[in-house]
A and B are shown apart, each in its own frame.
Chain A
Amino acid sequence: MPSSISHSDAHKAELRGVREGALPAGLRQTAANRPGQAQPVPTRDIPTQPWVKIGAAVFVAVTLLMTAWEWNARTNLGLRAGDLDDSSQAWAEQRRLADAAPVAIVGDSRILFDTDLARFQQMTGVRPIQTAIVGSNARALLESYANDPNFHGLLIVGLADLSYFRPQGVGLGGPYLKNFEKNDKPSQLTALWIDRFLQRYLAFMDSDYRLSRLLPRLDHGWRKGVDSPYEDVWKLSETFDHRQTFMWHRIETPGYLQKHARYAWNLFKGPPLPAFIARNVVARSAEAVRRIRARGGDVVFIRPPSAPELRAVEDGRLPRSKGWDLLIAGTHAQGIHADDLPQAQRLVVPEWSHLSRKCATVFTDAYVRKLIQLTPRLKLRADAPPPLSRADCVPQTIASL
């Protein structure tokens, strides 16, 4: 009987398993060559090479390449260390906090980019939990909170009309929302912490500038009838602690990236939305609002601004009277539309859909002041900063126009 496990019966050399120098072809056998028997200690042959010198050379070369890549990221691409990127784990981290929070925000990228959490806190003493998701449907997030018996706070639902009034099943929060409670495994949490630590010092660590994102963008629509990666939405924002997200400074500057970002909103073009979609969306929203209120929570809808160029497209497909107004009436919830906030008029919307960083603070200031009037859950602090206006964020040359 073979007794491979027994040390006493085996030669020590055979037990080593590792052999310096590559074995000639055909001599390194696998279990495939030894049917029906106990498999011996496998042999791993180490090719004869100056591995230590090679390793040292690789270390030096990779360090140099990384230095060059980091330099390129900072100087040519305009990426900045401290931009923490977003991820399903980062979202799940905030979502778990939301259960005990007095105020949480859901929505698509507009309320995500256009809310200055620090300003909110300065004014009310409450820092809302930011759980809006880029490219998502705020309705799916609203329903997820409605289904969460632990949430009793105020839910701010930020929406872009064409995003919110989508057919059921489209843009539902994707991997962020799906089984988010499973995104708290020890390995996921440690990966998040290490990733954040590195991103505070390295600018090139940006998911929008990964190798596999950059190369396919060379395709400028080479195959007719298919959206090329070039036409996708590229990097628009920077993310900081607590998922505070602002517009990326390069998008605020006129140029190639700003034009590309505007071009991407062609995605919004299309025929007018059928009335039944709005009816369904309002009905589902009303049910979600009812459930949150039944638990002692509350819901406020907010519609951040968009630039006239995009607004024309949005109104063409779903005018305010057939979308927003029906939603507020149908859900019996409070709503704050950017059109109704005097301080939020003619703000800077560099790529037509999201506010500039400074104007996000102005818009936050404006909607929080209105919010305080609409709900007893928030109070203006005695030491709250004075109101902001368009002049605080619009460059003087433009403001005077």
Chain B
Amino acid sequence: MIFNSLTFLVFFAMVMAIHYAPFFSWHQKKINLMIASYLFYAAWNPPFVILLWISTVVDWWAAQWMVRAKRERTRKLWMLTSVIVNLGMLGYFKYGGFLLNNFVTIAGSLGIIYHPPGWDIVLPVGISFYTFATLSYTLDVYLRRSKPAGHFLDYALFVTFFPHLVAGPIMRPTELVPQFEMPRRATANQIFFGLALLTLGLFQKVVLADGFLAPVVEAVYDAPGKMPGMLDSWVATLAFAGQIFCDFAGYSTSAIGVALCLGFAMPDNFRFPYGAVGFSDFWRRWHITLSSWLRDYLYIPLGGNRHGQARTYAALMGTMLLGGLWHGANWTFVVWGGLHGLYLSIERWLKARFKGFTPGRVSMLGLALLTFLLVNITWVFFRARTFAGAGVVLRGMAGMQAKPDLLIPFGPMIIAMVIVSAIFGTHLTMRNTTLEAVVERTPSVAIAGIWTLLLFAVIIEQGQGSAFIYFAF
């Protein structure tokens, strides 16, 4: 089920009605939420609910046995069991075909011809998200950062809680399980603000990402045999920067709004990322729950910055390459991650080299623009799916197409650029504040007007129910 569907609106109305019905105890309400969450997930592909159960049960018992273990080795064994089961499922469903194809290619280059049977495995929606969420549970317990959850129901609800289940934010058990321990009831203000956030998220997804930006992106990136020129290539790539942000941040904002309506707090996943000055700043703002997960469970265990320069750069690159691979079983995603790793490494080196440098206002703006520009280069690999396709667009961006094809009509181009400029300008001006702080300062009439327009735009856009891009990850 996706948030931008009529099914979800009916589902959510029913969940709200049941959640706030006076005749259920808190324990029963949690069971209701868990059943609703399973229905939410099963609405996509019922058999894959089994994977959720496996993930839930294995990690619950792994953590239980970890704390009961007397010997360090036994603790490690349970941690490894959890890691192997979770990454095994992820590897099988998400990377099986990719690994097989690469094996065939390598074998072929060694003269070994191997024709494996077709790998026609459906990717369970959101497996990358809930796998990381449950892994953080056992890893936190193993690293003695937290104790295991006290009740299985609370833990199972943490894994399946539908607002974050399929596309994040990737929650840690310490963020959510405590919230299940005591009865929660949203105030009227929370519910209405939650609905406002849900509207904002849907507007980003349905109107901006799907309605106006996706067609511009597709005109270039999904036009096989066409050679886009400089203008078309840049416009399509900038439009994709807007699309991927509106798609994913739209989902996160909707998820936060939905959870808020039910009385739960979920963490920020985006903090005006295109207003970032530098790449470490970008990754503190873009998909925060993933970048912090990778930092806590990959970068730091790989040594982080505690073992000298060379090890730090290696850990950085390793983390970003694997982070790229997390987004999809394709080498283009690895290159996307690698480019970000490279940017982060160069930035780190420059910061060490020019320690005393403090940018002024103009320099900040220039650096923000440069950051945005370089991030856009990486989006080419993220969107293109193949290196050949990425090469075509990159050549176009560099103005190297001898006879470029004109692909994007002027009207949609203008609309897309207005949207992207508005996103970039908003991020730049709001980079040091929060949406909530700005909303608090805004007159109520203006908020009502803006909310009305957003909701009306969502309704008359009549979304086509296309899935969020990150569902595929």
Contact = CB atoms under 8 A, between A and B. Distances in A.
Nearest to A39: B172
B404 to A, nearest CB: 10
A44 B265 contact: yes
Given A23-B437, A40-B174, A222-B411, A54 B444 contact: yes
B448 interface: yes
Interface stretch (B286-294, B331-339, B373-381): B286-294
A210 B456 CA distance: 12
A204 interface: yes
Contacts of B146: 1-6, 38
Contact of A219 (B150, B291, B412): B412
Nearest to B437: A22
Main secondary structure of the interface of B (DSSP, over half): helix
A31 B288 contact: yes
A383 interface: no
B64 to A, nearest CB: 13
B421 interface: no
Contact of B148 (A5, A21, A205): A5
Nearest to A85: B462
Interface size class of B (residues with CB under 8 A): 35 or more
B178 A5 contact: yes
Contact of B408 (A52, A57, A210, A226): A226
Given A32-B284, A44-B265, A66 B459 contact: yes
A25 B181 CA distance: 30
B274 to A, nearest CB: 16
Contacts of B212: 212, 215
A15 B182 contact: yes
Interface stretch (A76-84, A134-142, A187-195, A256-264): A187-195
A49 B411 contact: no
A49 B435 CA distance: 13
B260 A18 contact: yes
A206 B464 CA distance: 11
B105 interface: no
Contacts of B172: 31, 38-39
Nearest to A6: B147
Given A6-B150, A35-B295, A185-B45, A40 B190 contact: no
Contacts of B436: 22-23, 28, 45-47
A312 interface: no
A58 interface: yes
Contacts of A223: 406, 408-410, 413
B447 interface: yes
A12 B10 CA distance: 33
Contacts of A22: 434, 436-437, 439-440
Contacts of A229: 409, 411-412
B448 A57 contact: yes
B7 A55 contact: no
Given A58-B452, A211-B461, A5 B149 contact: yes
B176 to A, nearest CB: 8
A242 B285 CA distance: 48
A66 B187 CA distance: 28
Given A46-B193, A223-B409, 12 more contacts: A5-B149, A18-B186, A32-B288, A44-B265, A46-B190, A49-B447, A51-B189, A53-B444, A62-B459, A211-B457, A216-B411, A222-B410
Interface of B: 1-2, 5-7, 10, 42-46, 140, 144-150, 172-179, 181-182, 186-190, 192-193, 195-196, 207, 210-212, 215, 256, 260, 263-268, 271, 283-285, 288-289, 291-293, 295-296, 300, 406-413, 415, 432-434, 436-437, 439-440, 444, 447-448, 451-452, 455-457, 459-462, 464-465
10 contacts: A35-B292, A47-B436, A51-B188, A54-B448, A187-B2, A205-B462, A211-B211, A211-B457, A212-B212, A216-B412
